[in-house]
């Protein structure tokens, strides 16, 4: 199925993990994907793989989403090389976890600037082109942390709560002008981010213990998130406005046991 044939899609942080899976799924559905990634090595590799696998015009453009000028330059280059963006996925994100009173100002700023400011900078940069053409889909990768709290993960959930607020606010602002803005909230997904956290955990059983806490007994896969992103980016989802689709294997519907 090629629901995204010849659409131009920007996916931030698409060098690995969930973003890479979304970029791959979009390209397999016919989109020309901009891999907007901070790491040139990861970004180049993903774009080259997508071109080879799908024959689309996937392209790496280096971008630090926390830097408004970098974002504006990335969107300008997208328009110059591939055309106006039809789809934006705000996926780039970092986990900054700690005790509230141990967090430094730099930790706070780093978390907010990538996880929240970055998404806004990208929305602000693509919206004029989307509004001019009367169509566009924005998908924000939020988290279970957008509506539930785990102690000692401060301030990540604050940024992710804000990302849901951004989603709903922009969704309503532009609902009557052909733009959809929605969020996806993944639970525990098996990506390099989590693989790193397990590797750094002194408990060798850390991964197994997390898996045991999941109602389905495993972590989610990046391609399971990508499948929903493709739906939200497609014309099949034009009546889905300001939604937050939770993909977490049931973990947040469970009451304590
Ligand atoms: P990941 O494996 O760390 O991949 C994130 C990618 O984004 C990396 O390639 C990273 O590059 C890039 N990136 C980081 N900072 C950036 C910046 N300032 N500008 C542009 N690119 C940047 O992460 P993931 O697990 O796939 O997570 C992706 C998104 O899903 C994040 O927003 C995360 O909060 C959200 N999420 C993840 C999970 C999960 O369980 N994995 C659950 C809920 C929500 P470098 O590696 O070079 O820094």
Beta strand 87-90 pairing with 136-141 = parallel
**Phi, psi (rounded to 5 degrees) for 155:** -105, 15
Rounded distance between C-alpha atoms, residue 90 and residue 163, angstroms: 10
Nearest-10 Cα torsion for 122, 141, 150, 223: -150
CATH numbers and ranges of domains, the chain: 8-188+221-238 (3.40.50.720)
The tens digit of pLDDT for each residue in 163-208 reads 999 999 999 999 999 999 999 999 999 999 999 999 999 999 999 9
> What pLDDT is recorded for position 256?
84
Rounded distance between C-alpha atoms, residue 137 and residue 127, angstroms: 10
Mutate which of 93, 190, 220 for ligand 1 pocket (most atoms within 8 A of beta carbon): 93
Mean pLDDT to the nearest integer, 42-52: 98
- Mean pLDDT (the chain) is 98
Q: Is the CB of 30 under 6 A from ligand 1?
A: no
Active site residue 156: yes
Q: Is the CB of 39 under 6 A from ligand 1?
A: yes
Percent of the chain predicted with pLDDT > 70 = 100
Closest residue by CA, ligand 1 atom 6: 13
């Amino acid at each position: 199925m090629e629901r995204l044939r010849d659409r131009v899609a920007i996916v931030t942080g698409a060098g690995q993990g969930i973003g890479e899976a979304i970029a791959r799924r979009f390209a397999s559905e016919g989109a020309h994907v901009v891999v907007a990634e901070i790491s040139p090595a990861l970004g180049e590799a993903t774009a080259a793989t997508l071109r080879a696998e799908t024959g689309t015009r996937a392209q790496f453009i280096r971008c630090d989403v926390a830097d408004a000028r970098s974002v504006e330059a990335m969107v300008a280059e997208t328009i110059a090389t591939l055309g106006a963006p039809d789809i934006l996925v705000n996926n780039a994100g970092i986990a900054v976890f700690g005790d509230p009173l141990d967090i430094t100002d730099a930790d706070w700023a780093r978390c907010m600037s990538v996880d929240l400011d970055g998404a806004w900078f990208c929305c602000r940069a693509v919206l004029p082109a989307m509004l001019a053409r009367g169509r566009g889909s924005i998908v924000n990768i939020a988290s279970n942390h957008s509506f539930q709290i785990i102690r000692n993960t401060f301030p990540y959930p604050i940024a992710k709560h804000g990302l849901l607020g951004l989603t709903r606010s922009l969704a309503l602002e532009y609902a009557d002008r052909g733009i959809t803005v929605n969020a996806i909230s993944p639970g525990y997904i098996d990506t390099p981010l989590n693989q790193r956290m397990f590797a750094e955990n002194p408990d060798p059983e850390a991964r197994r213990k997390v898996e045991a806490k999941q109602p389905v007994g495993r972590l989610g896969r990046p391609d399971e998130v990508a499948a929903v992103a493709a739906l939200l980016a497609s014309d099949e989802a034009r009546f889905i406005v300001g939604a937050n689709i939770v993909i977490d294997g049931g973990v947040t519907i469970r009451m304590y046991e």
